[in-house]
Amino acid sequence: MIDTHCHLLHRGLAERVDDVVAEARAAGVRGLITIGTTSDDSVRGCDLARRFDDVWCTAGIHPLHAAEPIDWDAIRRTGTDQRCVAWGELGLDNHYPDPPRDLQRAVLEEQLRRIVAWRAEGLAKPVVVHCRRAVADLLPVLRASGLPADRFVFHCFTEGPDDARRVLDFGAWISFTGVVTFKGAPEVAEAARLVPDDRILCETDAPYLSPEPVRGERPCRPAFVMHTARFLAALRGSEFAAFERTVDANARRFFGLPASAGC
């Protein structure tokens, strides 16, 4: 199994990264992608990824960090490293009032413009999208970027089946965290049933969002991706081993990971 989205440098994991990675390996996790949320977090995530054969990183500005200073050169430089497998996470978050929507959107549009330019320079990478209560606002912006729709993944999908259909019709991938296992979020489980086998990914978003049956544990850790994967397999009527092969092959294909990653 591959945890396609975690934050190894965020509080709760950063203090004990070696233990967290060892625990994940012991649980059967054979690949982790630590996701950048600011320029500094992206640079340090890449330094961290270089220390482990089975850790990769991304470079991007999370919408909730849109008001902080941004070093675009550092993002681009991180993107030139072999360990950096995607841009992002980037997107829109309508759940919180801050940073204001206009600012989130301006940073998103600038980031997409730069990604298009970097792609033209030969730095073509898939894009990890953060979208909270923002599918209708976000899809036109992604479409207007001109980037291929099948190079976007909507990570930590927390919307229902109607929004899932819109994202799938656009052509993007969808990734699920422990939220899909929550009894209070049946609409997310319903969305997870709709996603075709060749466009689904699985992740933790650790240190956030521990899945059932370890929902009470803090912090969430990449080892817990196994619980979410088992839940998704059962939900979709698949044998676990077959589902694991499917999502790992998807992760390798989407992020361009080596054949050694995953099951």
Report the candidate in 176, 171, 88 with the shortest Cα–Cα distance to residue 125: 88
Is the Cβ of residue 200 or residue 242 nearer to Zn ion in the bound state? 200
Q: Provide the minimum distance between the beta carbon of 69 and Zn ion in the complex, in angstroms, as a whole number.
A: 20
Q: Provide the minimum distance between the beta carbon of 128 and Zn ion in the complex, in angstroms, as a whole number.
A: 8
Is the Cβ of residue 181 or residue 204 nearer to Zn ion in the bound state? 204
3-state secondary structure 196-225: CHHHEEECCCECCCCCCCCCCCCCCCHHHH
Dihedral sign, CA of 133, 167, 7, 244?
positive
Length of the chain in terms of residues written? 263
Q: Provide the minimum distance between the beta carbon of 225 and Zn ion in the complex, in angstroms, as a whole number.
A: 13
Q: Provide the minimum distance between the beta carbon of 228 and Zn ion in the complex, in angstroms, as a whole number.
A: 14
Is the Cβ of residue 33 or residue 223 nearer to Zn ion in the bound state? 33
Is the Cβ of residue 159 or residue 205 nearer to Zn ion in the bound state? 205
Q: Provide the minimum distance between the beta carbon of 153 and Zn ion in the complex, in angstroms, as a whole number.
A: 12
183: exposed, middle or buried (Cβ count in 10 Å: 0-12, 13-18, 19+): exposed
Is the Cβ of residue 208 or residue 240 nearer to Zn ion in the bound state? 208
Q: Provide the minimum distance between the beta carbon of 35 and Zn ion in the complex, in angstroms, as a whole number.
A: 5
Is the Cβ of residue 35 or residue 134 nearer to Zn ion in the bound state? 35
Binding site for Zn ion (CB under 5 A): 35, 205
* Longest pairwise C-alpha distance within the chain: 47
Q: Provide the minimum distance between the beta carbon of 175 and Zn ion in the complex, in angstroms, as a whole number.
A: 10
For 47, what's the count of Cα atoms within 13 Å in the CB-facing half-sphere?
A: 9
Q: Provide the minimum distance between the beta carbon of 88 and Zn ion in the complex, in angstroms, as a whole number.
A: 9
Residue nearest to Zn ion (CB): 205
Is the Cβ of residue 3 or residue 205 nearer to Zn ion in the bound state? 205
